Amino acid sequence: MENINLFVMVGAALILFIVFALLVSGFILYMVLRKRDTQQTQHSIRRNFPVLSHIRYISEHIGPELRQYLFEGDHEAKPFSRLDFQFIVKAGKYAKTIIAFGSKRDFEKPGFYIRNAFFAKQITDLEADNKKLIDTQKYVTDKDTLFARHEHSVEAQIKPWHYTDRDAVVMGKDTCRIPYKIKSPVGMSGMSYGALGDHAITALSYGLKDAGAYMNTGEGGISPYH
């Protein structure tokens, strides 16, 4: 009987020790990750939400499997699907505009789509004004793991995709003293200074100027930060 009681006491002590060690190890790991996340300057989401933000990278890696079996597809989100969002991020942050040939879209549904051409045009065949390069920065991924993404920024020059002078859209051609020529196929929709603040408006203004794109100031009009 005494041997059984001793065995139970030793087992209970061992379990308590393991639980205590796991708690201490978890706390140390939490503090290390929190310190790393708050001191790094590459990802604002990790700095604002330390430790918890790592769930984002886990979701990105296992997201396709979850959506395939449990949740919505890559084209169902509104106003932009997940694939549209990924393409914008890759083009804007990593300067990668090459996508795989093929599509998951259902082209039998009513609507307008951009289809892939069997014989794609070369860059030299496109009527685009991209001779003047834009000095910018792009991110290069060093390591992409399940829990984090390590990357750094480098200087880069990218080609803009502007309309030629012949195809440019001119606003106020016959009604304004200084007409406005739109040479970019994209621009920024209406977001006012009151909604974004001075830092965001200034950053967007510089970026749109470098890209040669137009900017809708929203209902607030033009501010000193535009």
**Domains of the chain: which residue ranges?**
1-52, 169-220
Q: Positive or negative CA dihedral for 35, 41, 43, 44?
A: positive
pLDDT tens, residue by residue, 53-111: 888 778 777 777 776 556 666 666 667 777 777 777 787 777 777 766 556 666 677 76
Q: What span, in angstroms and rounded, lies between the C-alpha atoms of 179 and 202?
A: 24
Name which of 25, 42, 19, 46 is nearest 34 in CA terms. 46
pLDDT at 33: 86
Three-class DSSP category at 158: strand
Q: What span, in angstroms and rounded, lies between the C-alpha atoms of 49 and 204?
A: 24
Mean pLDDT across 164-183: 84
Q: What span, in angstroms and rounded, lies between the C-alpha atoms of 44 and 55?
A: 14
Name which of 195, 204, 196, 194 is nearest 226 in CA terms. 204
Instruction: Give the pLDDT band (50/70/90) at residue 174.
Output: confident
Q: What span, in angstroms and rounded, lies between the C-alpha atoms of 105 and 55?
A: 29
More reliable by pLDDT, 181 or 121? 181
Q: What span, in angstroms and rounded, lies between the C-alpha atoms of 183 and 213?
A: 7
Mean pLDDT across 162-189: 83
Residue 2, pLDDT > 60, answer: no
Q: What span, in angstroms and rounded, lies between the C-alpha atoms of 10 and 27?
A: 26
Mean pLDDT across 33-44: 84
pLDDT at 119: 64
Question: Which amino acid is residue 119, in one-letter code?
Answer: F
pLDDT at 70: 67
Residue 151, pLDDT > 60, answer: yes
The model's pTM? 0.52
More reliable by pLDDT, 73 or 128? 128
pLDDT at 156: 86
pLDDT at 116: 59
Residue 222, pLDDT > 60, answer: yes
Residue 120, pLDDT > 70, answer: no
Question: First CA to last CA across the chain, in angstroms?
Answer: 84
Q: What mean pLDDT value characterizes the chain? A: 78
More reliable by pLDDT, 105 or 27? 27
Region of 221 (left: φ > 0; alpha: ψ -120 to 50; beta: rest) is left
More reliable by pLDDT, 126 or 178? 178
pLDDT over 70, % of the chain:
80
pLDDT at 140: 85
Give me the phi and psi of 180, to 5 degrees please.
-105, 125
- E strands in 65-194: 134-144, 149-158, 169-171, 180-182, 187-188
Question: Which amino acid is residue 151, in one-letter code?
Answer: E
Residue 115, pLDDT > 70, answer: no
CA-CA-CA-CA torsion for 186, 64, 116, 119, nearest 10 degrees? 120
